[in-house]
Amino acid sequence: MKVSQKWLKEFVDFQMTPEQFTEELSMLGLEVESYEDLAKKYNNFVVGEVLQKEKHPKADRLSFCKVNVGEKVLDIVCGAPNVAAGQKVCVALIGALIPHDQHDPEGKPFVITNAKIRGVESFGMLCSVCELDLGDDASGILVLDASAVPGTPLADYFGMNDVVYEVGITPNRADCLSHIGVAREVGVVVNKKITLPNIELKESAVPATDIASVEILDAKRCPRYSARVLRNVKIAPSPKWLQDRLTSVGIRSINNIVDVTNYVLMETGHPLHAFDLDKLAGRKIIVKTASEGQKFVTLDSKERTLKSDTLMICDGEKPVAIGGVMGGENTEISSTTTNVLLEAAFFNSANIRRTSKYLGLSTEAAYRFERGADIDMTIIAVNRAAQLMQELAGAEILNGIIDVYPEKQEPAKIVVRIPRVNSIIGVSLTQNQIISLLEKIELISVVKSNDELLVTIPNFRTDITEEIDVIEEVARVFGYNNIETKTHASIDFTQTIRTDRFQNEIRDYLIGAGFHEILSIALRQETVARLGGVQPIKVLNPVSAEMEALRTSLIPGALQVVKHNLNHGVKDLRLFEIGNVFTLKNSADPLNHENYHEEERLLVVLSGLHQTASYGQPVRKVDVLDLKGEVSALLSKFNLDNYRFIYYDNPKTLTDPRIDIEINGTYGGFFGKTQKHIAHALDVEEEVFVCELSVSAMRNAWVRERKFSPLPKFPSVTRDLAFTVDVATPQQSIEDVIRKVGRPLLQNVMLFDMYIGQQTGASKKSVAYTMEFQAADHTLIDDEVDAAVKKIVEAVQQQCDAVVRS
């Protein structure tokens, strides 16, 4: 926010250089990001008076002038066609830096020197609007008002003898979004209380309530609405002082009425709006919410589509403004306006923020309301604006304020413990010292006991809600640089600091296997978050519609990355992500943070071709078996050998098929092909195979120390078996029986064929396995292998209702 030093000094007197001001305010918690001394731009520029003008002896288009610059008269050669004796002009003295060279294509600045022009010496320059960088007019010199005094520094004449600071206001300090708010902080530095503007109104005998009325239908979104009625105003340009004041803080002058509302906004921090009273149907204001999909044209001539929670300021027939954001074209102040209804309302900050973000409409008013305005400032602001409109536009102020305030908001009171203050800050302040420090920022304390204070928080400090906030204010006003550092920390570098390296181990392996890591934020659009199959956790005050819920799965976010790559022509993808997902326990209180569950997961994604097309190699797309192989290799990398895959046929899952992964008897995740309706919801037409694993399940089962066994000394024997079973029997069940019964000789089992057709019957299927047998201490003989195979056949027949195929 831009802050004018001259403006600040109207509320608190201080004598500081810009460097001192920057340092002191920054130490207090308001960072001064930069400053500009406006007067420096016109160093060595003064007001001059042309005493005499003669034709240049050697040039028809040049004039020789004698110019009074206060203490002396200078000879100056001028080429402007409009120069004349008696004029008050802008004179650049020797050494002045001309801001804009109107004869240079790039307008580069240049320095005035003593020069001979066609043989005649010139000791300065008479400047045009363009050369002074005040506009584009380069047709002649700028002629000043006849009352201008020769010798006056040009910065003083233009009202630019000011320093403008760019102050970075943090979101919690809404009270500092005004010159009065910043002046209050400056007062802490110089140990002075601020002086507020003296407001004296001359009201007519006509009651304002006889002319206009206000009704609030939604007191939750608009707790207070204050208004003044002004008649017989004269719309005109603002006086120079007001234009200069607004220009210094980056606001364009429009007319005296609108300029006053902007001036009071920057002075008090409270937004105002002026309606043309004669354009308000029934001369009434009704505050209520809009209808879903309702259209409204704002002051910027754009039609807006509203939501049902958008707060509207309406008259007796129609909406006339979006509450706290922007007014409408249908009641704006124009050159024909004579009667004004002046609004100073207070709006719910969360509602204004949602409306502003939804409409993509950021205004000075919304910027302040969404951070928290002062509900007590409405009366001060509307009276201050009415006073200025009376002075500058001749307004008749009707008697009384229309102030609708259904439920008065009392200042908060917080109990502050003296020992707690000293413990947190690390000081030894007395009770009286703390009271004195808080009084500097208008926090009034009452002694509750020897160790406790009851602190009243003014309504303009919406950021102070707890004891710790008051303690922070004590530390801030006391001075962070005055707090002695007593804490000492040491690090013993002789000992290794153990950290969990599991994530990096996963990254190193997957990157080495040709995967690319992706990173995405945990916030998603609610409809996208719901694709995870679990009710998402909604954010109470989302930044945007795209960030309104916490993700319950990594898959929807990864599909958006896949879509982005597909749109840019990248189809063969091997991706992974490590991130957290968030769920709420069943039937749990959403306002209790302990009911939330946060889990770290690993996502692996495959899509496109299995390998790049090359000579002699067939081209095929990746399938679920490729993903199964990658998952098996990953688990084996971390010695997670005690795992198994469980196949499900459930249409409600994220993938089809749904293959769960069990690690050491614990659920570890799942993999499969992304369901079509989920991929289509994110505009992904390609097949995408995904695996989502629980990092904690993997970490808990991770065997860090590897055990090695010697290579087998004796040969293995392989046998094949085929069974006919019911088509609904999972092959995993058969494989589990074979592995269990075949121990200890059975070393490996692999499914190599599955058949469903006429030869097996309508409700049957054939599954065939290769089994590898091996002994660690001798060469197997046929009788041993036959006995093991016989046990396997009998067990499968009995437990799986299978028939051995010959």
Q: How confident is the model at residue 652 (pLDDT cuts 50, 70, 90)?
A: low
Alpha-carbon distance 358 to 368, whole Å? 17
At 19-75, the pLDDT tens digits run: 999 999 999 989 999 998 888 889 999 999 999 999 998 888 899 999 999 989 999
For residue 3, the model assigns a pLDDT of 94
Q: What is the pLDDT of residue 490?
A: 59
Across the chain, mean pLDDT equals: 90
Q: 135-167: per-residue pLDDT in tens? A: 888 899 999 989 999 999 998 888 788 899 999
Of the ranges 50-54, 129-133, 726-730, the best mean pLDDT one: 50-54
Q: Quick one: CA dihedral 751, 753, 756, 760, positive or negative?
A: negative
Length, in residues, of the chain: 806
User: Looking at domain 502-701, what is its CATH homologous superfamily?
Assistant: Bira Bifunctional Protein; Domain 2 (3.30.930.10)
The CATH number for 412-478, chosen from 3.30.365.10, 3.40.50.2300, 3.40.50.800, 3.30.56.10, is 3.30.56.10
Q: Is the pTM of this model over 0.75?
A: no
pLDDT tens digits for range 524-552: 888 888 887 788 888 888 888 888 889 99
When mean pLDDT is compared across 3-12, 459-468, 494-503, 612-621, the lowest value belongs to 494-503
Q: Which amino acid is at 198?
A: N
Q: Which residue has the higher pLDDT, 68 or 700?
A: 68
Which of 202-211, 500-509, 708-717 is most confident? 202-211
Report in angstroms the alpha-carbon separations of 537 from 84, 205, 510, 548, 671: 76, 58, 31, 9, 24
The CATH class for the domain spanning 203-404 reads: alpha beta
Mean pLDDT of 776-795: 93
Q: Of 239-248, 492-501, 654-663, which has the strongest mean pLDDT? A: 239-248
Whether pLDDT at 83 is above 90 = yes
Query: Span 648-654, mean pLDDT?
Result: 65
- Cβ-contact 33, 196 below 8 angstroms: no
d(CA 415, CA 258): 43
Burial class (CB in 10 A: 0-12, 13-18, 19+), 506: buried
Mean pLDDT to the nearest integer, 190-203: 93
Domain ranges of the chain: 40-157, 203-404, 412-478, 502-701, 717-804
Q: What is the pLDDT of residues 161-172, one digit of tens each?
A: 889 999 999 989
DSSP state of 398: E
pLDDT of residue 487: 57
Homologous superfamily of domain range 717-804:
Ferrodoxin-fold anticodon-binding domain (3.30.70.380)
Yes or no: say if 749 and 738 are a contact pair by the CB < 8 Å rule.
yes
Q: What is the mean pLDDT of residues 612-631?
A: 84
The more confidently predicted of residues 250 and 318 is: 318
DSSP for 10-26 reads TTS-----HHHHHHHHH
- pLDDT interval class at 302 (50, 70, 90): very high
pLDDT band at 493 (very low <50, low <70, confident <90, very high): low
Confidence of residue 497 (pLDDT cuts 50, 70, 90): very low
Structure tokens at 483: 């707090």
Asked if 77 and 64 count as a contact pair (C-beta separation under 8 A), the reply is yes
The pLDDT assigned to 495 comes to 55
Task: Report long-range pairs for 316-320 (Cβ below 8 Å, ≥24 apart).
Answer: 316/280, 316/281, 316/282, 316/283, 316/284, 316/286, 317/281, 317/282, 318/281, 319/290, 319/294, 320/275, 320/279, 320/280
Spatial separation of the C-alpha atoms in residues 170 and 28, rounded to whole Å = 13
Distances in Å between the alpha carbon of 602 and those of 277, 627, 644?
62, 14, 18
Distances (CA, A) of 666 to 390, 597, 631, 697, 738: 78, 18, 16, 7, 22
Query: What tokens were used for 738?
Result: 């074979």
User: Contact 311/366 with Cβ under 8 angstroms?
Assistant: no
What confidence category does residue 650 fall into, taking pLDDT thresholds of 50, 70 and 90? low
From CA 221, how far away is CA 288, in angstroms rounded?
Answer: 9
Of all residues in the chain, the percent with pLDDT exceeding 70 is 96
pLDDT for res 755: 87
Query: How would residue 489 be classed by pLDDT, with cut points 50, 70 and 90?
Result: low
Span 366-405, pLDDT tens digits = 999 999 999 999 999 999 999 999 999 999 999 999 999 9
Q: Which CATH class is domain 40-157?
A: mainly beta
Q: 201-233: per-residue pLDDT in tens?
A: 999 999 999 999 999 999 999 999 999 999 999
- Average pLDDT (761-772) is 90
d(CA 317, CA 286): 10
Contact 368, 270 (CB under 8 A): yes
- The answer to whether residues 379 and 387 touch, using CB atoms and an 8 Å cutoff, is no
Confidence band for 447, pLDDT divided at 50, 70 and 90:
very high
Which range has the worst mean pLDDT, 91-100, 283-292, 438-447, 707-716?
707-716
How many Cβ atoms are within 10 Å of 515's Cβ, its own excluded? 20
Place of tokens 């045009």: 128
Q: For position 704, what pLDDT does the model report?
A: 67
Please name the amino acid found at residue 796: V
